[in-house]
Structure 1
Amino acid sequence: MMELILEIVGYFLAGLAIWYVMIGKKVRIMEKNIKNMSFVNYEQMAKSTAETIMELFKTPRRGLTEGQAGLLREEYGNNKITYGKKTPLIFEVFKAYITPFTLVLIALGIVSFITEYVLAAPGEKDLFGVSVIAIMVIISGSMTLIQSVRSNQAAEKLKSLVTVTATVKRNNHFVEIPMEDIVCGDVVKLSAGDMIPADIRLIHAKDLFISQSALTGESYPVEKTAGRTTNHHDTETSYENLVFMGSNVISGTAEGVVISTGNRTLFGHVARDLAAKPVKTSFELGIQKTSFLLIKFMSLMAPTVIIINGLTKGDWMEACLFGLSVAVGLTPEMLPMIVTTNLVKGASAMAKKGTIIKNLNAIQNFGAIDVLCTDKTGTLTQDKIILEYHLDCDGKENDRVLRHAYLNSYYQTGLKNLLDIAIIDASKETLETDKIQYQKVDEIPFDFERRRMSVVVEDNLGKTQMITKGAIEEMLAISSYVDFHKEVIPLTGKIREEILAKVKELNEDGLRVLGVAQKTNPSVVGEFSVKDEQEMVLIGYLAFLDPPKETTKQALEALKKHGVGVKVLTGDNALVTESVCKQVGLSAEVLISGEELAKLSDENLARVIEEYNIFVKLNPQQKARITRLLRENGHTVGFLGDGINDAPAMKASDVGISVDTAVDIAKESADVILLEKDLMVLERGIVAGRETFGNIMKYIKATASSNFGNMFSVLVASTFLPFLPMLPLQLLILNLIYDVSCMSIPWDRMDKEYLDEPKRWEASSIGKFMVWLGPTSSVFDITTYLLLYFFICPAVVGGSYHSLSPEQQVAFIALFNAGWFVESLWTQTLVLHALRTPKVPFLQSRASFILTTVTGFGIAVGSILPATSLGRSFGLSALPANYWLWLMVTIVCYLLLVTVIKHIYMNKYQELL
């Protein structure tokens, strides 16, 4: 039977090897094809007219039909970037089964096969030990493989919940489609906040500014135009009429035709050339350091056990086999499976709570956040701005001001923000908007430096107006006149003070104020530009209310309780921010502005950001600078944002957090996506991240310490006992039962107190934990040795070990092995319950039903095993009734000692898990 099993395994391994070669060849061919793939001649595209390019792809003015798009997709490929090569299944199999820990098991299996089968006498050949080892490798590897595949599937499924779209022209209509569905020849519409979905030759562009930092490292946006280029440029990105995937629109609008998609784009080329391994997260580094720490212990303990047993027992082959068993005893071979299961389960649980994890390894950082930076609008507030007042410069309600604001918001083609929506909604309620007949002439889009935007409109009589709205300070700066007391007069210092006083009064009530200015029949040569925003007439201002969310105060209190400090980073002014912060319970007595921050060096700012929690009038670069310095100060920083101006800070943070309704660039920059723009959702996600991390540490620390204690006990027993305290096969079975029990840990819960503080992976703490808590089990292992060797075994067998016949000594050893096997299983399993919580186990804190049931079942199986025929085949024998009484006393005393040492350890190091 065993020969048949070995033959089947041999065929299986041979098949895997052939598969590996075939898959490897296929992957190499794919890589060669990608490497040799032709890329676009960008110079030729830049020098060609837009009409020529559209003819090249046979793109009609109406845009492509779905049928034409399908043909172009077949010819030029899809719009997906291959970030390195996707790991084939065979490599996933290899990674699952070949780990530092399973290699130890495989080595032990080889030695066991040689000693128990190859070198054994014909009548004594036994493959049972090899089978047990094979089962352990198969269970560990298979569970890791299953969870790894599930992890990849879950990650892809979660990512699919967050869709980045682009606006393309299909059948004469602009429609939103997923970015990967874009094909060469598509006509794409771009506006502020959009990701550039492919490499595009511009057809039309208006005040278009693009951030190319992902491709070029340039800090400042560059302007792009649609004109034909005749000159040669040193780099593709410097062509004014080409925009590239990986960039994003800062301001302005444009239309263009797609000239390259997916791996054929410039970004795809860069991604292939720079397909280096991603920087390891602190979570991955923690796993790696922990693995090496345990291997160091193993490499020290196993040789020591081999030498001691070889010298004292004289059988070096048996000593070697036992030493390898000790190595297995120190090996948490289920670590990869436990970690992966925890991450997948954690991501699934967080998804149910409205939090999508784009990268599973971000969960640990998410739970470790101790500073959350957030914008004010939409996070602290309701994300539904209401236009409360439309006032003239006298401070009275005036529909003329509202009508001008409506024309500005309605006709602008950039990214309509919440203020624009509020203006349009209020106008529809107050004005007869269907009778407002104007034609748009031009526009000057919003940008974060000017903090205003303008449109030029023309009425039916040919009268033109430039209408500008923006932050009140910026509007006063470009206005030379004011409509005051129904008369246009020069804007004097006194009038400026009166206006600012009224605005301050509104700000103190929590209202955000924008100014509205206009200029009749503005003259311009060529297209309108920023230079035309001057000598305007300020006609009034708009006051908006952004009421705080009902849950914000509760959420901030919950975050504070969980050790997360909140810092508000906003572009809004001090008075409005102060009003909102007071309403939600944030102290806003001390705040600092972007203008003040600009004067500080990084060294001084690193100190200042620890003292202040409210930052106002910030630009995007200042948000990113604050975030970076907080990280350098040792904080784990999360940044919650949804706008274009938040993207740099999100990239600079440990965890970028966005919402499903955010602009494309914000979602693309995020590690975590909230399905609801609510801090309560974020708080629940942070807690779920900490619970996931806690369960991982629970397994590692409890298993490492108990295994270390058991192996320390083996050293003592090997030195003084005339026989092995447990046979190698028995050690393997003990480890197998325990590991199966540990598979239930991901379904355990954490104490609420554990979730109150951010958690970081500290590999060094595992070594300290092992040294402190491990030897506690050794104390009772030694008392069990003494009890078995001097009392229970002599009483059952009929004398002390050295006075017995060889047959009786075999019975003595079997009983001793069984006694320590059961005691070791009980202590090793129950210590999971003792070390999973700082509290008194079972009384103050109880494990989940699943963990309790599975570990209880494992203990029951291990306790019954010595009395069965299967147990006897392992070299165990039934235990007497009085043993169980002593076992109960031992277990109680052991748990009491663990609890005492645990509290001493916590007092010293201020942590447990």
Structure 2
Amino acid sequence: MKATPRSVGASELQVHRLLADDVYGALDTRPTGLTETEAQARLERYGPNRLQEAERKPLTRALLANFTHLMALLLWLGGALALAARLPQLALAIWLVVVINGVFSFWQEYRAERATEALRKLLPRRARVLREGTVREIAAETLVPGDVMLIAAGENVSADARLVEETELWVDQSTLSGESHAVRKTAEQVTRAGLAHTELPNLIFAGTSVTTGTGKAVVIATGMATEFGHIAHLTGSMGEDLSPLQREIAHVTQVVSALAVGVGVIFFLLATLLGTMPLAQALIFSLGMIVAFVPEGLLPTVTLALAMGVQRMAARHALVKRLSAVETLGCTTVICTDKTGTLTQNEMTVRALWLGGRTLRVTGEGYAPGGTIMEGARVMRAQDDEELRALLLAAALCTDARVVPPEAPATHWTALGDPTEAALLVVAAKGGVDLERETARYPRLRTLPFESRRKRMSTVHELAGGRRVYVKGAPKEVLELCTHVWHAGRPHALSAPLRARIEAATDRFAAEGLRVLAVAQRDLPGDLELSVEGVERELTFLGLVAMMDPPRPEVAAAVATCHRAGIRVIMITGDYGLTAQSIARRIGILRGPGGRIVTGSEVDTMSEEALAAALEGDVIFARMAPEHKLRVVEALKRRGHVVAVTGDGVNDAPALKRADIGVAMGESGSDVAKEAADLILLDDNFATIVNAVEEGRAVYANIKRFTSYIFTSNVPEAVPFVLFALSGGRIPLALNIMQILAVDLGTDMVPALALGAERPEPGVMDRPPRRREEHLISPALLARAYLWLGPLQSVAVMAAFYSFYWRSGYAGSWFGVPDSGPLYRLATTVALATVVMTQVGNLFAHRTERLSILQRGFFSNRLAWAGVASELVLLAFIVYLPPLQRVFGTAALSPRDWLGVIVWAPVLLIADELRKLLARRKKGAV
């Protein structure tokens, strides 16, 4: 999908630098708007104002891919060979395996890409424009560059546009910027350099919404040329990467398939070249070897284990959209997290006040009015301190926000409007200011809204005998306008030493990561014009208000867990660097004295090598745009990291999709972010990511458990065919092919699934992430399955098989025992039952890696006992039901026969307990 160039080259024209009256000419339009003829011509030129849909992989191709991979082709061939060998029931069983695996895999991999569709839903369907001097409501899709668009509070913005008129206009563009507060918009020209496109105050963008005020703007970009379209292109143009688990399962498939085919071909050649058996018999024999070594139940068991991991994560407030993402979390090496709402509570809280040389501390959290203002150990109230009252009154009256109490059953106070202004209302309430009464005493006459150029806001109020202006804003800008300071109930001249003390207090608060506002006032002459230039001068300084968005209380412990687990945490935020750095130190992301702050504008100028070097040390990324965040993620992936990325806005969608694991916020996240992500945090909490990582590591460990469990039974399934071949057919097959399938696809399934539900062993988060080069099928796993437990199980099976013959009158004879007839059917049934019974011991042996099962607890995994019950019930059906006896070649066993089988059940468990004991002693654990 190609991105359309910007409709009229807004970037090249630099329309934000123009005076409002010059914008019309630059965009080839007029204040009365376009004519219908011009609008139609431009619609044909630029196309509809909508986002292109991402190209999707056809469902048929996605479905067929799951039936044509290497293991599937191997099983299709095996079924064909079985059919040629006149074993239709075997062919049907093998092909059924392919179908089941294909369906499971299809549902596992299938995830419709709807990020672009979600973006389209955010664009409004109707828009108000001026056409030929008349206000008209048109379909938003027919907006074109040059249209004069009208907007008002409560409306969404339909296209990117340059403001030419506005009245008290505030826009919520959090879907693009990631910052939660509304921003002031102006029609004035902007000549300041270094601002990102979305930071320009005279531009408005498609998909954002107007919170207050009205405006008139000239459209500069539509459809894919908008900022939304740019993000949609970044998101939709990226393909899906295979997860680490998907790559590992593909590797397992290749290894196992090659092993099975290789063993089958070798023994087929040996059987035919040595002349030990007829061609047809050799074919059946080699087919049995292939079936014995291919773990037909592995793929569906993996899928079911992942699904169970999804359920456990949901109970811990993490919603998984893609099954393979469960395990990806377990091998994550880097978490790139935003700040606001994830690491912090997204609730500005005043922490300190500075007035008259005194520093007061403020207690309490969030927007709830509970808390106090303290000077040392003394509680301060506005009615008892004139300086405090003046500061709190001015700060509270110079706001447009509201604080809303909770409604049952909710218990959380919320803010409407700017979070910073809400924090000022809360601290005033903590100091005892009755805002409702004070608002009635000092009614507002005029508002001079905040502007990025002035960096302050002013409100003019009426009071007995005159008017007063209250001003709040950036300390430097406000202090420059102050000539006096309020003390002892009246203004005093602001001396140079006191000015220096105020500046030092500001720097001290900033160093602590606090956002600082200065508050001032002035009593106005009666004939003064209420303009910015007229009222914002000769101010009286009242004090400083220092606030912060506090970290979530549980985040520091979660970050410490990440460090223990070898996971690096990198903060990438749209906020300012010093604030982000302070939060990072508070919660432990930055642990040393250093810590570099890299801004989005710096990333623009960095080479790949310079960015890689920055990522080597402690670094915080601030003021980041979507392209910057995406570039950081790609740089980390090139360095071999498995990257998890958190985000909540439209601006985060490209990075969420590009990451190995995209994590969206469930409460505050946009629909676009949720669609692009693999995991959704239902509580927007960073600690939940750490919980999910723990679950992911447990899932991978469990997959290794049941893989080893399944591989163990491959050995006793293969040994009868090996003995049959080496003896020239004189040692009869202890198991037939259908009985092998009964174990792989029947009795082993639920026990293997029980291992998939095993809780992690202690210390799972005290180890580093597994290396990318570490394969699921490791030498240790193969040794345990094929060289230790598998051979022991084979001895048990063959011993039970021959002991049955010996009890039946063939004592001491290896050769010459019946290879057909009722006695042979009973003997193979004994062998099958022994495989199942020894798998019971094998199940409990695989529940732990190093711990004794006595330490783990026999009954701590209830599903394990359900697995034992299921395999015994299924074995009973195969042994005693006549229809299944005919299919699997079994016969009913007597109680005496069962005694000869049951004695072998604990062999594998006892043997592996001894191995674990020796391993623990060797490592000094016991």
Q: Same fold (TM over 0.5)?
A: yes
Is structure 2 residue 439 aligned with structure 1 residue 433? yes
Give 1:312 deviation, angstroms.
5.6
Superposition pairs for residues 16-415 of structure 1, below 5 Å? 47-48=28-29, 52=33, 82-85=53-56, 87-88=58-59, 90-91=60-61, 93-116=63-86, 127-144=88-105, 147-148=107-108, 152=111, 184=142, 199-202=159-162, 204=164, 267=229, 271=233, 275=237, 277-310=239-272, 311=274, 313-357=276-320, 359-369=322-332, 378=341, 382-387=345-350, 391-392=354-355, 394-395=357-358, 397-398=387-388, 401-402=391-392, 405=395, 409-410=399-400
**Number of the residue aligned with 2:422:** 421
Aligned partner of residue 269 in structure 2, secondary structure: helix
Aligned mates of 1:148, 1:441 — CA distance in 2: 57
Superposition pairs for residues 766-777 of structure 1, below 5 Å? 766-768=777-779, 769-777=781-789
Is structure 2 residue 885 aligned with structure 1 residue 871? yes
Superposition pairs for residues 771-850 of structure 1, below 5 Å? 771-784=783-796, 787=799, 791-796=803-808, 798=810, 804=816, 810=821, 813-828=824-839, 830-838=841-849, 839-841=851-853, 844-846=856-858, 848-850=861-863
Aligned mates of 2:261, 2:924 — CA distance in 1: 30
Superposition pairs for residues 575-590 of structure 1, below 5 Å? 590=593
Aligned mates of 1:161, 1:646 — CA distance in 2: 14
**Number of the residue aligned with 2:15:** none
Aligned partner of residue 347 in structure 2, secondary structure: coil
Superposition pairs for residues 667-746 of structure 1, below 5 Å? 671-707=678-714, 710-711=717-718, 714-715=721-722, 718-720=725-727, 722=730, 723-738=732-747, 740-741=749-750, 744-745=753-754
Greater displacement, 358-367 / 899-908? 899-908
Greater displacement, 864-873 / 725-734? 864-873
* TM-score, normalising length: structure 1: 0.68
Distance 1:430 1:672, change over 3 A: farther
Give 1:826 deviation, angstroms.
3.3
Aligned mates of 1:808, 1:183 — CA distance in 2: 78
CA offset digits 1:76-125 (Å, max 9, x no partner): 9996753222643x445434444433332221221222221xxxxxxxxx
Give 1:166 deviation, angstroms.
6.4
Greater displacement, 707-716 / 814-823? 707-716
**Number of the residue aligned with 1:659:** 665
**Number of the residue aligned with 2:909:** 895
Aligned mates of 1:425, 1:899 — CA distance in 2: 62
Distance 1:508 1:825, change over 3 A: same
Residues 695 and 745 in structure 1, CA contact (< 8 A), matched pair in contact too: no
Distance 1:55 1:464, change over 3 A: farther
Letter in 2 for 1:773: A
Residues 455 and 468 in structure 1, CA contact (< 8 A), matched pair in contact too: yes
CA offset digits 1:178-209 (Å, max 9, x no partner): xxx97555979699xx9x98754555588999
Distance 1:321 1:496, change over 3 A: farther
Aligned partner of residue 366 in structure 1, secondary structure: helix
Residues 39 and 264 in structure 1, CA contact (< 8 A), matched pair in contact too: no
Aligned mates of 1:505, 1:264 — CA distance in 2: 41
Q: 2:874 aligns with which of 861, 866, 891?
A: 861
Distance 1:860 1:671, change over 3 A: closer
Aligned partner of residue 410 in structure 1, secondary structure: coil
Aligned mates of 2:317, 2:119 — CA distance in 1: 12
CA offset digits 1:649-695 (Å, max 9, x no partner): 87886545453454758768765432324445444433343344444
Aligned partner of residue 904 in structure 2, secondary structure: helix
CA offset digits 1:852-906 (Å, max 9, x no partner): 3134322343256345543255333455656544544433222233344567789
Superposition pairs for residues 468-547 of structure 1, below 5 Å? 469-470=473-474, 472=475, 475=477, 483=485, 492=496, 494-503=497-506, 512-516=515-519, 540-544=543-547
Give 1:289 deviation, angstroms.
2.1
Aligned mates of 1:867, 1:393 — CA distance in 2: 94
Aligned mates of 1:293, 1:565 — CA distance in 2: 33
Letter in 1 for 2:245: F
Aligned mates of 1:826, 1:162 — CA distance in 2: 56
What is the aligned-residue RMSD (CA, Å)? 6.3
Aligned mates of 2:658, 2:231 — CA distance in 1: 24
Superposition pairs for residues 584-599 of structure 1, below 5 Å? 590=593, 592=595, 594=597
Residues 558 and 690 in structure 2, CA contact (< 8 A), matched pair in contact too: yes
Aligned partner of residue 313 in structure 1, secondary structure: coil
Letter in 2 for 1:715: V
**Number of the residue aligned with 2:20:** none
Gaps of 5+ in 2: 11-25, 130-138, 177-183, 190-196, 359-385, 403-414, 525-530
Aligned mates of 2:460, 2:101 — CA distance in 1: 74
How many pairs does the alignment contain? 797
Residues 6 and 226 in structure 2, CA contact (< 8 A), matched pair in contact too: yes
Aligned partner of residue 328 in structure 2, secondary structure: helix
Letter in 1 for 2:309: G
Residues 132 and 733 in structure 1, CA contact (< 8 A), matched pair in contact too: no
**Number of the residue aligned with 2:757:** 748
Residues 695 and 748 in structure 1, CA contact (< 8 A), matched pair in contact too: yes
Greater displacement, 775-784 / 899-908? 899-908
Letter in 2 for 1:848: N
Aligned partner of residue 83 in structure 2, secondary structure: helix
Aligned partner of residue 387 in structure 1, secondary structure: strand
Residues 599 and 623 in structure 2, CA contact (< 8 A), matched pair in contact too: no
Aligned partner of residue 356 in structure 1, secondary structure: strand
Superposition pairs for residues 446-465 of structure 1, below 5 Å? 453-455=455-457
Give 1:576 deviation, angstroms.
11
CA offset digits 1:539-591 (Å, max 9, x no partner): 53113365665555665676677666767788679899879967x79997846
Aligned partner of residue 890 in structure 1, secondary structure: coil
Superposition pairs for residues 622-633 of structure 1, below 5 Å? none
Residues 108 and 324 in structure 2, CA contact (< 8 A), matched pair in contact too: no
Letter in 2 for 1:280: L
Question: Which has more helix, going by share of residues?
Answer: 1
Aligned mates of 1:263, 1:907 — CA distance in 2: 67
Residues 57 and 184 in structure 1, CA contact (< 8 A), matched pair in contact too: no
Give 1:152 deviation, angstroms.
4.6
Gaps of 5+ in 1: 1-33, 60-71, 117-125, 173-180, 215-222, 229-235, 447-451, 522-526, 610-614
Distance 1:188 1:287, change over 3 A: farther
Aligned partner of residue 856 in structure 2, secondary structure: coil
Aligned partner of residue 876 in structure 1, secondary structure: coil
Distance 1:756 1:593, change over 3 A: closer
**Number of the residue aligned with 2:379:** none
Aligned partner of residue 546 in structure 2, secondary structure: strand
